[in-house]
Amino acid sequence: MPRFITAHATHPDAHGALALAAAQIEAQRAALAPALRPTLGWVYLTDALAPQADNLLDDLQQRWPGVHWVGNTGAGVMASGVEYIDEPALVLMLSDLPTGQFQVFNGRTPMLAAGAHSALVHADPHTHDLDELITELAGRTASGYLFGGLAATAQRCAHIADGVFDGGLSGVAFGPEV
């Protein structure tokens, strides 16, 4: 059964916030038996950290090699029992979902219709044909079910899917067992 662990932190620098959250993640991983071997990660950044999204994704990929990353920027982020609004913060979640049960997609790597049951979608609200893109994407899933949200920041409406993107949409498609 897949497991999920989460962490969150606030710090004026994305690298500092990541270091604080990573310490929480590693403590949780060490407490699990067997240890969690993450395959998929989520990262959500507040507006203040949005300009550092590219460097942060590089750090995430170096810290956890082989993990696929998805996420978004927003005016605020939430984690268990805490909300960060108008301050620099990030939230992480890692899971050990079987790699055959999900596919990260973005503008360079389209979602494959075969095997997709539903999808988590993040989008730039400034995309002029967003409604058509969402309708097309829903048609590529067996259930037609999409969930997710819009990037909502004053700085940079970025979304993350094994890369950092401005414009369009991205996310992760899930197989029927997820």
Which structure tokens are listed for 84? Answer: 């960060």
Q: What pLDDT was estimated at residue 135?
A: 96
Q: What is the pTM of this model?
A: 0.95
Strands 40-46 and 89-95, sheet pairing: antiparallel
Q: What average pLDDT does the chain have? A: 94
In the structure, what pLDDT confidence band is assigned to residue 48 with cuts at 50, 70 and 90? Answer: very high
| Cα separation, 118 vs 1, whole angstroms | 19
Structure confidence by residue, pLDDT tens digits, 101-119: 999 999 999 998 778 999 9
The residue type found at 156 is R
